[in-house]
């Protein structure tokens, strides 16, 4: 099964991770730290949910 939008992900500890892709219905990425992203290092996937 291929997700609606192909989002590659290597966080295999996330509930939505399956075979190197994110399978969440929605994806939210926000800035971190001072809330101003200047590179990908300043971003965070807030859709992450730990696997149980």
Q: Along the 52 residues of the chain, how does pLDDT read in single tens digits?
A: 666 678 999 999 999 999 999 999 999 999 998 889 999 999 999 999 999 8
The range of the structural domain enclosing residue 12 comes to 1-52
26: its two tokens: 């929605």
| Whole-prediction pTM | 0.79
Distances (CA, A) of 35 to 4, 21, 39, 43, 49: 28, 26, 12, 9, 21
DSSP 38: S
Number of domains in the chain: 1
């Amino acid at each position: 099964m291929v997700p609606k939008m192909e989002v590659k992900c290597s966080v295999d500890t996330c509930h939505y991770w399956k075979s190197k892709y994110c399978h969440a219905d929605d994806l939210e990425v926000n800035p971190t730290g001072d809330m101003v992203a200047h590179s990908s290092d300043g971003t965070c996937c807030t859709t992450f949910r730990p696997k149980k």
